[in-house]
Amino acid sequence: MRPDHDLLSPDLLDAEPGPAQPLGPDAAARLVRTAVAEVHAPPRRRPAWLWVATAAVVLVGVPAGAALYRAARAPAPPPPAAPAPRPQAAVEPAPEAPAPELAPEAQTLEPPAPEPPPRRAPRPRVRPSAPPPALIVPATPSADALLDEASRLRGQGRWAEAEVAYQRLIDAHPAHRAAYVARISAASLDLDHLARSARARDRYQAALTQGGPLDAEARWGLARAHRALGDAGAEVEALQALLQHHPKSAHAARARQRLEALAP
C-alpha cells in the first residue's frame, strides 16, 4: 500500500488552478484502487491536512486540492515574538524607624552579676575509731557465797577481813535474808573485836528494821552498844524491849539482872 501523501501526488494534480480537469483512465483507476485499499486498511490516525486535501479534491477538484496540499506542506511561520517586559521602577526601601533612646541610667546600668553560692568547707574525714575493748565485769557472787566467805574468815579469826566481807554482802544484796544475818554478825565484830560501838549500834538498828528470827540477838547487842557508848537510858529501853518481845529468849535472864543493876 502506498503512503498517504501519494493519494495527492503532483502527477495526479493539475499544474494550474481553475475548474477541475477530467482524470484520465489510468489516473482514475489508480485513485479508485487507492481509495478501496484505504477502506479495507486498518484504521490509523491520519494528519488533519490529509483529510482537508482529500475533501478539497472531491469537492472543488484536483487544482484546488493541489493548492491546499502546497499550503499544508509549507513550513509554519514562526510565532510572534513576545513583547519585551516593561522595566519596573526601582522600589526604594522604607526608612527604618529610629530605635528608642534609652535613659542614661538604662544605658549604663547593668544588672548585677549573681553572687556565687558560698562554698562549704569540706568535712574532715573521721576515721572510725577502734571499739574499746570489752570490759570484763566479773559476775557478782551470790548472797550465800558471800556469807560463806565472811563466815570462813570469821572462823579463822580474821576479824577485819570478815567485817569487809559482810559489808560486801550488804552492799550487793541489801534486801536479801543473808544481808540481815550479815548486819548482826558484822555488828558483833564491831562491838567485840574492832571497838566500833557506834557502828555496831547502827547495824543492830538496821537489822531490827529489816526484821527476822535473830531480833532477840539484835536487841541484846543494841543494849550492849548503848552501854559501851555510856548511854544508860537507851540501854534500859533496849533491855525492856528485849523482855517485852522475847521474854523466853536466852538473853531474857541477863536482861533482868542488868535492869536491877540500873534501877535507882
State mean pLDDT over 91-105.
54
d(CA 140, CA 149): 13
Predicted structure pTM score: 0.49
Domains, in order of start, for the chain: 4-73 (no CATH), 143-262 (1.25.40.10)
Tell me, what's the pLDDT at 232? 94
All three cell numbers of 199, joined, read 557502828
State mean pLDDT over 170-175.
95
State mean pLDDT over 19-27.
55
Tell me, what's the pLDDT at 92? 56
Find out whether 222 and 255 touch, Cβ atoms under 8 Å: no
Residue 8: pLDDT over 50:
no
CA gyration radius, the chain:
79
pLDDT digit string, tens, across residues 30-82: 654 654 465 455 555 555 545 444 444 444 444 444 454 455 455 555 666 65
- Of the given ranges (23-27, 48-52, 128-132), which has the lowest mean pLDDT? 48-52
Alpha-carbon torsion angle 233, 234, 239, 242, nearest 10: 150
Tell me, what's the pLDDT at 3? 47
Tell me, what's the pLDDT at 235? 95
Q: How confident is the model at residue 119 (pLDDT cuts 50, 70, 90)?
A: confident
What average pLDDT does the structure give for the chain?
A: 74
Tell me, what's the pLDDT at 264? 80
pLDDT digit string, tens, across residues 191-235: 999 999 999 999 999 999 999 999 999 999 999 999 999 999 999
Residue 170: pLDDT over 80:
yes
Instruction: Write the CB contacts of 23 (distance below 8 Å, at least 6 apart in sequence).
Output: 12, 31, 62
d(CA 147, CA 166): 7
Q: How far apart, in Å, are the Cα atoms of 210 and each of 10, 168, 218?
A: 168, 18, 11
d(CA 256, CA 246): 12
Residue 253: pLDDT over 90:
yes
Tell me, what's the pLDDT at 226? 97
Tell me, what's the pLDDT at 64? 47
Tell me, what's the pLDDT at 241? 96
Residues of the chain above pLDDT 90, percent = 45
Tell me, what's the pLDDT at 59? 46
